[in-house]
Chain A
Amino acid sequence: MSIRERALVDADWVESHLDDDRVVLVEVDEDTAAYDKNHIRGAVRLDWKKDLQDPVRRDFVDRARFEALLSERGIANDDTVVLYGGNNNWFAAYAYWYFTLYGHADVRLLDGGRKKWELDSRELVPDVVERPATTYTAKEQDRTIRAFRDEVEAAIGQKNLVDVRSPDEYSGRLLAPAHLPQEQSQRPGHIPTAANVPWSQAANDDGTFKTDDQLAELYAGKGVDLSKDTIAYCRIGERSAHTWFVLHELLGQPNVKNYDGSWTEWGSLVGVPIALGDQP
């Protein structure tokens, strides 16, 4: 099985495993009301904000809360977890990275997510899904895939920094994606020396990932030397989780980290360097 086949499943694979008790479908959306309207049969929901963020500090839920969450949703350690969601799998990829951070053994992403499923007119149902509770055990966070601000500052000019936001956000013309009100960080721009490789260039219009050859060519063409360590960032770490998935899980690059503090942290820090404009 190739790296890609282990990490990514298509809609036909999901349809053929809808009645497999050991395969748990999990929908993760930015628009958390989407699941209430309908979802793939048997899928449970994770709310990226309520379930996955600490309610007080800006950080993830700790190991004990993650264990309690997955136990309550009926996810077992030996289950195959298949994540999917809206927004071209942004938050599903974020959850994939999060599950990997806490050491879940078999986690996969549905290629194209909810959008591709809807555009194919596949079945979605409004049914309430209840799975019997489990006793889930998580591992300590795998910090080899998560970057913090000090490491990012030390990486300027040393490691690959990949800014996966849109060119307008990278240059400083916008502070946030254009479908959201403009708010968040104090200052616009990007981290000096970061290459701008928008997450969207790794995906087709229907949300599926491009081929491995196309992806390798994309990063090489932007001057990202994949023999070096890489840190990806965006605004809040969800789009960069999508790029982390591409580099680490599809292209099999070791030493790729997601900086989930991302621009909302960097653009509000006192004293750190910021570059404006279209050049690194």
Chain B
Amino acid sequence: MIHLAYPLLLSAMLFSAGVYGVLARRNAILVLMSIELMLNAVNVNLVAFSQYLHQLTGQIFALFVITVAAAEIGIGLAIVILIYRNRESVDVDKIDLLKW
């Protein structure tokens, strides 16, 4: 018997840390890592409720989220490396060409 609140609190912690990282970091790779943190928070919730409700759907969905996250980090790093090659920097504050 475990408390359902523990996994949910772990998820909340990871998500808030990810929010802080996305907002405060300048290095694009660190921002990508923070996004991974938030995706993991979602997965913890999915698995916790899947086990609590005795339904496998949550775990299947967590597997899909992990796969999509892997694709996302691959494309994200490719874009970061391309930006680095063109601009010699991965500072997201300086990549503001599309800002108004």
Q: Do A and B come from one complex?
A: no
Q: Which residues of B contact A (CB under 8 A)?
A: none
Q: Which residues of A contact B (CB under 8 A)?
A: none
